[in-house]
Structure 1
Amino acid sequence: MKNKLIAFSQRLINWIKKNKIKSAIAFLLLLIYYFSLSRTLFQEPYSTVIESKEGELLGAKIAGDGQWRFPAQDSVPDKFKKCIVYFEDEYFYKHPGFNPVAMVNAIRQNRKAGKVVRGGSTLTQQVIRLSRKGKGRTYFEKIIELILATRLELGYSKNEILELYAAHAPFGGNVVGLEMAAWRYFGVQSNQLSWAESATLAVLPNAPSLIYPGKNQIRLLQKRNRLLLKLNHEGIIDKQTYELSIDEPLPQKPYNLPQIAPHLLERVAKNEEGTRVKTTLDFTLQNRVNQIAKYYYNQYRQNEVSNLAILVIDVQNRNVISYVGNAPTDGDHQKDVDIIDAPRSTGSILKPLLYAAMLDDGELLPNTLVADVPTQIAGYTPQNFNLTFDGAVPAHRALSRSLNIPAVLMLQDFGVNKFYEELQKFQLSDIDKSPDHYGLSLILGGAESNLWDLCRTYSNLSSTVNYFNKSHGKYRTKEFTELNYKNDFQPDFGSESEQKNILGAGSIWLTYNAMEEVNRPEGDEAWKFYDSSLKIAWKTGTSFGNRDAWAIGTNSRYVVGIWVGNATGEGRPTLTGVTSAAPILFDVFNLLPRQRWFGIPYEDLNEVEVCSQSGHLAKEGCPKIKQWVTKKGKTTTVCPYHKTVHLDQTGQFQVNSSCESVENIVTKNWFILPPVMAWYYKSKHIEYLPLPPFKEDCIGTQTVAMDFIYPKTNSKIYLTKDFNSEVQPVIFKIAYAQREKQLFWYVDHVYKGVTKVFHEKSIIMSAGFHYVTVVDESGNEISRKVEIVRE
């Protein structure tokens, strides 16, 4: 055999040498033949198609030319394959691209009939004809099709040719391709078609006008049934299958395509138009979340709230498993806007990030008391949502209750610039202005962000804790990665490292513990007492003017993000994170499998003794409890609020050696807050005891003289007006011996400000009886009742 090949090769070389011109022409023809077929047969645009991770159709967007043309599938269903071959081209698997016998028979029959009654084209030729649409049906064109068909057979397998045909054959109207036809006429995927349905679609490309509902039904039925009979005779289907198939009805009213994730579809179309994307969405979960979105939309629209968004993330791989970009509203209420990407005012949703950053930096402990008092900073006056003050509140409670004033004071201590840089590490893309632009309002909704970025942030934080515990104290270099909606994407989390990414696992875990204490929505107030209660770390947010309601929650496996509001930015008085977004959050979490709480990251925590009253590191004399803190938490300040005082035997008076014998003096550590904090704190904590006064005969410790200069006891003050008829403030005056000390002013238990050196205070008053109270830095106070009369 080898010798024969060598001999043939030698003869061929000799022939080429003797016939150079003929050889050149033959080579040129071969070259033309080889390049005659375009690398891309079909240039038409395709529909954008998205599927769930299970392969279920979630939605599709029509192609740019107005045709419903799905991208080619990797395989053609076996039923349709057999139907189309037996109907169009029985010798498909045997011929080289054309069938000369069929062509001759077709020419004879057409000449005899005087018109075209039969075609002789193979499926391969039909693929070429479809790719050369618009070309005339001439004999010359037939010759070109024949040549290209043989070239197609050389470059493609039979199955690939069938795939091209199935993807580009016309099926009536603007329906192109088997996959779209299966959905349009039968409402199922092509691999779910029955024999009768497959046969119906197999005969359609031959005469696509037959499909129009109510027309040509008899002709279409006859063609389908003849094909089914042929399949029965050829042994492809048995007699029972044949008899059942011919009883199946023909398609009538066209089916609408599923639109289960329309906003994700638009997102995919924007980035990858004309492709088929198998997403990470869970088909069942997406449908159930859609039902929740519809239910709450119908509830909220009665209060003129028209939009909402829901995003669910699998923490393990950052996969998006449910994506609801907007409520099922209408065009007048921006139904096509994808809220998940829209920048909206953050409200309080960034507070956990500040809390975690301060824990991580060793500037705070979970129980550290934070001031909650009337505050004015450079003209900025934050207010708590309920317009009340606690005086002082543990930091974790300030977070769980979402108190605004403690958050602002914490941000002031941490630094706006520093926190801004922290947020940039999380890649919150909409926080793109300078720190000075936001100022302290950054923590109360002065900045904007979007649901995608925020859910990504919490997913990465949750995964940090999970991996740290799993790896016994290690991090991953690329833990903070992007969310993903493509099913075939494998995230790269980098390599193991001793170094944290942004926040340590300990600070994240402590933050989540604080967030887990957040008050639940109405109807679930007793959640703490249920053994099976849903344990998640979550935070709500409400923007200024009640324009945006947020809720974001996480457990060790999932993150759920909710936004509710109006896409137009119109606020509604009843719209808040707790009342509007949180109920949706818990309903979605109830759809998800229950998860264990985050494991304790012991390697990133220290157990220390803290003062049970102040939350600071305990010093000698403080009542102590043990608590987990971050590694840097050991460097925070010791308790500044416990002071040593000397009392008499009764404990009712402070004393010193000038008024009490040393052996009778009782030494005690006393919890003392600064005056303004103490003023509000004692109203919430009946156990808080002010310092006892000194005995009158103690030398050098007499109570500092402090009295009202104006007004006098039981005074009646008449309000005056200026030349513009505006009511003028009342000016109160205090005589105080220690001019360098500060005095704190209150009207009816409401803080009005502070004075120093010159103790005069202008206060706008309303008509009626009021109590004016002044407190010095040592906690001494005086009060006066006045009557304000309007002239």
Structure 2
Amino acid sequence: MRLDKWLRRGAITAASLVSVAGLTWAAFEAADRAFPAPLPEKLAVSTEVTDRDGQLLRAYATPDGRWRLATTLDQVDPQFVAMLVAYEDKRFYDHAGVDYIALARAFTQFAGNGRIVSGGSTLSMQLARLIEPRESRSFGRKIRQIFRAIQIERRLSKAEILERYLTLAPYGGNLEGVRAASLAWFGKEPKRLGVSESALLVALPQLPERRRPDRNPAGARNARDRVLARMVTAGRLGEMEAARAALDEVTGVRRALPALAAHAADAALRSRPAESRHQLTIRKSVQEGLEAVALEAARKLGPRISVAMVLADAMTGEILGEVGSANYFDPSRSGWIDMTRTLRSPGSTLKPFIYGLAMEEGLVAQETLIEDRPADFAGYRPKNFDMTYQGDVSVRQALQLSLNVPAIRLLDAVGPQRLVSRFRQAGVTPTLPVGEAPGLAIGLGGIGLSLRDLVQLYTGLSNGGKAKVLRDGSEAAAPAPLANGMVLEAQAAWQVTDILAGVRPPVGAAPRGIAYKTGTSYGNRDAWSVGYDGRHVLGVWVGRADSGSVPGISGYESAAPVLFEGFVRSGLAATPLRRPPSGAFRSAHGDLPVTLERFVSAQAGELAPAPRAIAEPAPRIVFPPDGARVELGAATADAIPLVLKLQGGRAPFRWLANGKPLVEIERRREAIWQPDGAGYSTLTVIDAAGRAASVKVFVE
């Protein structure tokens, strides 16, 4: 009786197939128009965030909780595609949706054995089942699949059919598509699949839950081996190659999909929620290195401590790596808070810009002596970090040791408002206490800046004085370039860099050839370190996201080691610091003019002695005028000298070009200067009474 039943079922099935195949073309056209295939132009796929080279940084599950990554054929190993077609549908490129030979064989085997021996579904029919899932198996459902497969073939190319299948095929759990499966089961993109891995991914979609490697590794291995055996029979693999692939272990671990640059990825989704693919300026290898450094450092520093890092290209402003927290998924460290954008006190990290402005003004040179003693600035009494004082120190020593009092002396001379104005010119707007104007306290961190702000300012030091707007690609629109961007003049930027390049590395760190500065905010709440070479700037913040105090934390001890390790683990080649611009050099103290030997500030309790009366008016340079462009052929071998003229002053006169004294002391009010190159230069004259005048000119 059972044999009769199977034969009767086979006859009915065969008759059904004949009826489908015998449909007139007109009838099919009518049915096709009446019941179009549900083929959306765009599949609902996971949102992806990629790096600058298209490598996946982070993926987001679909609204229904599926990991379904869009897949194109060029993202998959061609050997895998060949194995898939050979195993599932060897006449894929020859049929129009239905392989009647395979169907007839399958139904004949079913009729003769009472069970399914081999399937007859083509890849087009399987795609039809994926886009229109059936609730149960039946011959009516099979007929519907056949109809849909023919419709699909009429609308899509063979390549498009394969790509949709590779995007939608089930691979166990909530994994759909070969890219999600390859990343979850092997930790790699399907472009890099090996023979054993390809065979397993060919086998999984038939029974994805029964063959899941994490739940049934034996079943997964057996299914893989059957695919390998079939490939040998089909001539796709040699016996030895298949035997070697069969020796590979089947992984029993499901990996998490990439979640790199999590904060930047979230920002990209917020700015452009309708897009399914976002490309950042980040470089994946750099990001992986920085995130590893941040996580390791936070674990060493202790519980509740977080680390943030930003690495940018100083020439373009593009961010190559950014870590918003030590671990995005760690609630104990408030990992979800992006500390690269959070306003904090920058400590002493702004001091280089104070010294740079003072050098621009001609107030100090590197070897100018300056006092590090207790001082009172109209009630503001800065103290050094270690509560000790060094007495007379050079400007170079004062900046390298990060002494507070000398920095405030210079800030008092150049003016806090001017410092803030330069920050704004560089595209950074600091946050001040409500209703307060910039005061001397900003020199020691009394201002609100983010880590990104600091890195943007320091791009100016690395880039010859001109800052670049930072961007990581998450913005809704590309930021406008800065109109000027000058945070310091080129010569002052080089002088500051020359000083910072001499700061000794932290204990245990190998020299890197970078210039860097550290800072610690009041109450040990924030530790900073910002360093740069001739191309890249890396900023590091260490602290607690809740602004809690961390006893013992400091920029040099806590953040600087992370900075140096971050440069190493970024994988970026070191770029030499910029060469000095024309006219820039470091003078020994004995070569300084009298006005630069010592910096003297007038302030409460330390008033400078009143100058004695001088009959002659102060010196004034009348040629060249300030801001003039002078054509001397400076770029040629026949460059001509420039005649300098002044009025007033008491002879003799000493002339300086870019801080370097000319050879002779003149009693006349004229001098000859031979420029050593094209570009901006500062000319200064000092009379016998120590009075000075300066002009800036551009030599062509």
Alignment TM-score, normalising by the size of structure 2:
0.71
1:556 aligns with 2:534: yes
Deviation at 1:184, TM superposition (A): 2.4
Larger CA deviation: 250-259 vs 109-118: 109-118
> Would you say the 8 A contact 1:460–1:481 is kept in 2?
no
Question: Could you tell me how far apart the structure 2 residues matched to 1:429 and 1:211 are?
Answer: 58
1:743-762: CA deviation from partner (whole Å, max 9, x where unpaired): xxxxxxxxxxxxxxxxxxxx
Question: Could you tell me how far apart the structure 2 residues matched to 1:271 and 1:637 are?
Answer: 57
Counterparts of 1:292-691 in structure 2, within 5 Å, are: 292-301=293-302, 306-327=305-326, 330-360=330-360, 366=366, 372-389=372-389, 394-428=394-428, 431=431, 436=436, 438-464=438-464, 480-484=468-472, 501-522=486-507, 534-590=512-568, 593-602=573-582, 610-611=593-594, 613-614=597-598, 628=659, 633-634=682-683
> Would you say the 8 A contact 2:423–2:487 is kept in 1?
no
Question: Could you tell me how far apart the structure 1 residues matched to 2:248 and 2:281 are?
Answer: 36
SS in 2 for 1:173: coil
Change (3 A) 1:395 1:415: same
Deviation at 1:213, TM superposition (A): 4.8
Deviation at 1:162, TM superposition (A): 1.3
Question: Could you tell me how far apart the structure 2 residues matched to 1:370 and 1:636 are?
Answer: 22
SS in 2 for 1:209: coil
Deviation at 1:177, TM superposition (A): 1.3
Question: Could you tell me how far apart the structure 1 residues matched to 2:506 and 2:586 are?
Answer: 34
1:195 aligns with 2:178: no
Change (3 A) 1:287 1:176: same
Question: Could you tell me how far apart the structure 2 residues matched to 1:289 and 1:639 are?
Answer: 57
Deviation at 1:422, TM superposition (A): 2.1
Question: Could you tell me how far apart the structure 1 residues matched to 2:419 and 2:480 are?
Answer: 28
1:290-318: CA deviation from partner (whole Å, max 9, x where unpaired): 554455334322xx672222333343544
Q: Which residue of 2 aligns with 1:40?
A: 41
Q: Which residue of 2 aligns with 1:675?
A: none
1:538-585: CA deviation from partner (whole Å, max 9, x where unpaired): 111110101111110111122221111222212133111122212222
Q: Which residue of 2 aligns with 1:130?
A: 130
* Equivalent AA in structure 1 for residue 200 of structure 2: T
> Would you say the 8 A contact 1:551–1:585 is kept in 2?
yes
1:761-783: CA deviation from partner (whole Å, max 9, x where unpaired): xxxxxxxxxxxxxxxxxxxxxxx
SS in 1 for 2:547: coil
Q: How many residues align?
A: 591
> Would you say the 8 A contact 2:655–2:684 is kept in 1?
no
SS in 2 for 1:601: coil
Change (3 A) 1:594 1:250: closer
Larger CA deviation: 202-211 vs 256-265: 256-265
Q: Which residue of 2 aligns with 1:737?
A: none
Question: Could you tell me how far apart the structure 1 residues matched to 2:133 and 2:683 are?
Answer: 77
Question: Could you tell me how far apart the structure 2 residues matched to 1:86 and 1:101 are?
Answer: 15
> Would you say the 8 A contact 2:50–2:278 is kept in 1?
yes
Q: 5+ residue gaps in structure 2? A: 1-25, 601-618, 620-648, 661-678, 693-700
Change (3 A) 1:522 1:624: farther
> Would you say the 8 A contact 1:306–1:566 is kept in 2?
yes
SS in 1 for 2:598: coil
Change (3 A) 1:412 1:244: same
Greater strand proportion: 1
Question: Could you tell me how far apart the structure 2 residues matched to 1:31 and 1:54 are?
Answer: 39
Deviation at 1:139, TM superposition (A): 6.7
SS in 1 for 2:348: coil
1:255-281: CA deviation from partner (whole Å, max 9, x where unpaired): 444556555555555556785667665
Larger CA deviation: 627-636 vs 166-175: 627-636
> Would you say the 8 A contact 1:182–1:188 is kept in 2?
yes
Question: Could you tell me how far apart the structure 2 residues matched to 1:108 and 1:639 are?
Answer: 114
Question: Could you tell me how far apart the structure 2 residues matched to 1:223 and 1:587 are?
Answer: 46
Question: Could you tell me how far apart the structure 1 residues matched to 2:216 and 2:500 are?
Answer: 66
SS in 1 for 2:539: strand
The alignment's C-alpha RMSD in Å is 4.5
Question: Could you tell me how far apart the structure 1 residues matched to 2:529 and 2:586 are?
Answer: 31
> Would you say the 8 A contact 1:455–1:552 is kept in 2?
yes
> Would you say the 8 A contact 1:297–1:308 is kept in 2?
yes
Deviation at 1:138, TM superposition (A): 6.8
> Would you say the 8 A contact 1:47–1:68 is kept in 2?
no
> Would you say the 8 A contact 1:549–1:576 is kept in 2?
yes
Change (3 A) 1:103 1:619: farther
Change (3 A) 1:388 1:133: same
Q: Which residue of 2 aligns with 1:773?
A: none
* Equivalent AA in structure 2 for residue 313 of structure 1: A
Change (3 A) 1:357 1:632: farther
User: Larger C-alpha radius of gyration, 1 or 2?
Assistant: 1
> Would you say the 8 A contact 1:551–1:578 is kept in 2?
yes
1:188-241: CA deviation from partner (whole Å, max 9, x where unpaired): 332332223212211211111222358666654444333322221221111211
Q: Which residue of 1 aligns with 2:627?
A: none
Q: Which residue of 2 aligns with 1:731?
A: none
Deviation at 1:366, TM superposition (A): 4.8
Question: Could you tell me how far apart the structure 2 residues matched to 1:372 and 1:265 are?
Answer: 47
1:300-348: CA deviation from partner (whole Å, max 9, x where unpaired): 22xx672222333343544444444333594323234332232221111
Q: Which residue of 2 aligns with 1:66?
A: 65
> Would you say the 8 A contact 1:385–1:404 is kept in 2?
yes
> Would you say the 8 A contact 2:305–2:543 is kept in 1?
yes
SS in 2 for 1:237: coil
Change (3 A) 1:54 1:65: closer
Q: Which residue of 2 aligns with 1:752?
A: none
> Would you say the 8 A contact 1:604–1:631 is kept in 2?
no
Change (3 A) 1:243 1:290: same
Deviation at 1:459, TM superposition (A): 2.5
> Would you say the 8 A contact 1:606–1:628 is kept in 2?
no
Question: Could you tell me how far apart the structure 2 residues matched to 1:114 and 1:393 are?
Answer: 97
> Would you say the 8 A contact 2:38–2:132 is kept in 1?
no
Change (3 A) 1:115 1:385: same
Q: 5+ residue gaps in structure 1? A: 1-24, 466-474, 528-532, 644-791
* Equivalent AA in structure 1 for residue 125 of structure 2: Q
SS in 1 for 2:349: coil
Question: Could you tell me how far apart the structure 1 residues matched to 2:403 and 2:53 are?
Answer: 42
Deviation at 1:151, TM superposition (A): 4.8
Deviation at 1:450, TM superposition (A): 1.9
SS in 1 for 2:199: helix
Change (3 A) 1:30 1:430: farther
> Would you say the 8 A contact 2:49–2:280 is kept in 1?
no
> Would you say the 8 A contact 2:657–2:684 is kept in 1?
no
Question: Could you tell me how far apart the structure 1 residues matched to 2:35 and 2:573 are?
Answer: 58
> Would you say the 8 A contact 1:621–1:642 is kept in 2?
no
> Would you say the 8 A contact 2:346–2:449 is kept in 1?
yes
Question: Could you tell me how far apart the structure 2 residues matched to 1:589 and 1:222 are?
Answer: 47
> Would you say the 8 A contact 2:325–2:338 is kept in 1?
yes
Counterparts of 1:618-767 in structure 2, within 5 Å, are: 628=659, 633-634=682-683
> Would you say the 8 A contact 2:657–2:681 is kept in 1?
no
Question: Could you tell me how far apart the structure 2 residues matched to 1:420 and 1:327 are?
Answer: 31
Larger CA deviation: 379-388 vs 342-351: 379-388
